[in-house]
Amino acid sequence: MTRQGIRKTMDTIVHIYDTTLRDGTQREGISLSCDDKLKIARKLDDLGVDFIEGGWPGSNPKDEEFFRRAQHLKLHHAVITAFGSTCRVNGNPKDDPNIKALLDANTSVCTIVGKTSMLHVTDVLRTTAGENLRIIEQSIAYLVQHGRRVFYDAEHYFDGYKLDTEYALETLRAAHRGGAEISILCDTNGGAMPWEVEEIVCATRDELDMSLGIHTHNDGECAVANALAAVRKGCVQVQGTINGYGERCGNANLISVICNLQLKMGYKCLPETGLQHLTELAHLIAEVANLAPDEHMAYVGNSAFAHKGGIHVAAIRRNPNSYQHIDPHIVGNKTRVVVSELSGRGNLLSKAEEFELEVHAEEDLAHVLDEIKALEAKGGSFEAAEASVAMMLKRLQKEYKPPFELVDLTVNVEHRQGRGIFAEATVKVKVNGEVIHTVAEGVGPVHALDSALRKALVPVYPALQEFQLADYKVRILDGDNGTAATTRVLIDTQNGTKRWSTVGASANIIEASWYALADSIEYGLTLTD
């Protein structure tokens, strides 16, 4: 799109420039393979972003491989861009290896970063103001001459503007003379405030007749607010990352930016169907990056539309808008009701409906609610153990018959010469009126208990062979009591794509583990009925 084309649509359209694959990977703890980056690029294209910054082709072999393979991606909406810096001080663009790598990446768009702040010109580049302007203009002009669209990232623009306003503006003029299609104002240190961003963007637009974009970091926890402020004052492109990944405290989170712009401010960022994929995308990218999803992230977090307080739940049962700022389905999320000691009967009614269970009497709900509150007082936590709540409700059903009942259990941990420490569990359970007695060994007491229970039940319920203990968490709740402290055990179990969580609490870790384990297996078996 030409500069004129961008400016013509600036009143309604904001172009989304995703830099998850470059800036996002600068977050500590993230390392994406080339296959990972290609997978994410396809998903970003499906979402409908305008530009996907693939990396810095002059910096490492992985990014060079990405650009080579990306040429064969069949993208329907997004344009892949390559990122690099201006040519070296006192150098010529045609001889610069970084500029050559940008051309070799064979993308239609190149993004060039240059110094805007005099502090960086003198202390980092250690050159003159004039030389910095030359390398900005000539680097961009060389790429334009070779048929590339060029975006100019004005690094440290807001800091530079406050330090030396005229020079900061002059760097943008140099980029414009070189043929840059748009200049992106970067809050590289992430310390600007929204009112400063608004003021500086306005002043910049008054001085220069060119299209502007915004790139913000989150060091002051204002990245999203700063991006929105810049758009309000005329920026037509927003750069950021999915989930806000990035160096130090991260970049502007494009999830929140897109939702706020499109749902709250009347701009168009994505195709109509794009918003529905945001929750799925946020979780997928977290998974590919091997990071736990932020469950409390706005719009797409698992807790973004979760309701715990009894008064809140009672209200949303009457009108969902009473405690939700948008319909969560718009962004591919859903309303959740959390059960805890703060719950009212509405919470349990919502859970019963979610699990498609009928509750025939108010006193039944009151009984379960009292049980939950009593167990939480002893250390249980049902917010993250919805399968345990489901079992409490299911056991209210008159027609419900438990798949097994515990008769006895014994767990021994022994040390034997030549063998070391091992555990052995004995379990007696009643199944269909028959008592089954099994023994199994394990590397620890919970493993032995799990093995013994499975050994008893698998002949009757073969589907149990597919259940996997996906996670086992232990938390000491009252450490002042030392080894007699109450222990909370959370167990996550998985069967294919289905995953559920259960809880147990006791001063005896074996008893706590049994409660969570038994609920887990019983709940899983109800899913296979």
Question: Considering only 307-311, 414-418, 441-445, which range has the smallest mean pLDDT?
Answer: 307-311
What gap in Å lies between CA 67 and CA 379, rounded to an integer? 53
> What is this structure's pTM?
0.73
Q: What is the pLDDT at residue 124?
A: 94
Q: Is the confidence at residue 371, as pLDDT, over 70? A: no
Question: Considering only 47-51, 95-99, 418-422, which range has the smallest mean pLDDT?
Answer: 418-422
DSSP per-residue codes, 318-372: H-GGGS-SS-GGGGT---EE--STT--HHHHHHHHHHTT-----HHHHHHHHHHH
* Residue 521 vs residues 298, 350, 407, 515, 526: alpha-carbon distances, Å: 33, 23, 16, 10, 9
Q: Is the confidence at residue 411, as pLDDT, over 80? A: yes
Amino acid identity of residue 310, one-letter, is G
Domain ranges of the chain: 13-288, 306-377, 378-396+467-529, 404-460
What gap in Å lies between CA 73 and CA 516, rounded to an integer? 47
Span 53-105, pLDDT tens digits: 999 997 889 999 999 999 999 999 999 999 999 999 999 999 999 999 999 99
Under the banding of pLDDT at 50, 70 and 90, the label for residue 351 is: low
Q: What is the pLDDT at residue 352?
A: 59
Q: E strands within 341-497? A: 405-416, 420-431, 434-442, 468-476, 487-495
Cβ pair 262, 299 in contact under 8 A: no
Which stretch, 7-21, 346-360, 469-483, 507-521, has highest mean pLDDT? 507-521
13-288 carries CATH number 3.20.20.70: yes
Q: At what angle do helices 223-232 and 194-207 cross, to 10 degrees?
A: 30
Q: Is the confidence at residue 379, as pLDDT, over 80? A: no
Question: Considering only 356-360, 444-448, 488-492, which range has the smallest mean pLDDT?
Answer: 356-360
Residue 313's region, left for phi above 0, alpha for psi from -120 to 50, else beta, is alpha
Under the banding of pLDDT at 50, 70 and 90, the label for residue 473 is: confident
Q: Is the confidence at residue 4, as pLDDT, over 60? A: no
Q: What is the pLDDT at residue 341?
A: 45
Q: Is the confidence at residue 336, as pLDDT, over 90? A: no
Cβ pair 396, 436 in contact under 8 A: no
What gap in Å lies between CA 133 and CA 491, rounded to an integer? 60
Q: What is the pLDDT at residue 436?
A: 95
Q: E strands within 241-319? A: 306-307
Percent of the chain surpassing pLDDT 90: 63
Domain 404-460, what architecture?
2-Layer Sandwich (3.30)
Q: What is the pLDDT at residue 174?
A: 98
**378-396+467-529 and 404-460: identical CATH topology:** yes
Span 293-307, pLDDT tens digits: 898 999 999 889 887
Q: Is the confidence at residue 19, as pLDDT, over 90? A: yes
DSSP structural state of residue 13: B
378-396+467-529 carries CATH number 3.30.160.340: yes
Under the banding of pLDDT at 50, 70 and 90, the label for residue 342 is: very low
Here the contacts of 255-261 (C-beta below 8 Å, separation 24 or greater) are 255/282, 255/297, 255/298, 255/299, 255/300, 256/224, 256/297, 256/298, 256/299, 257/16, 257/224, 257/227, 257/228, 258/16, 259/298, 259/299, 259/326, 259/331, 260/224, 260/228, 261/14, 261/228, 261/231
Q: Is the confidence at residue 127, as pLDDT, over 80? A: yes
Span 180-212, pLDDT tens digits: 999 999 999 999 999 999 999 999 999 999 999
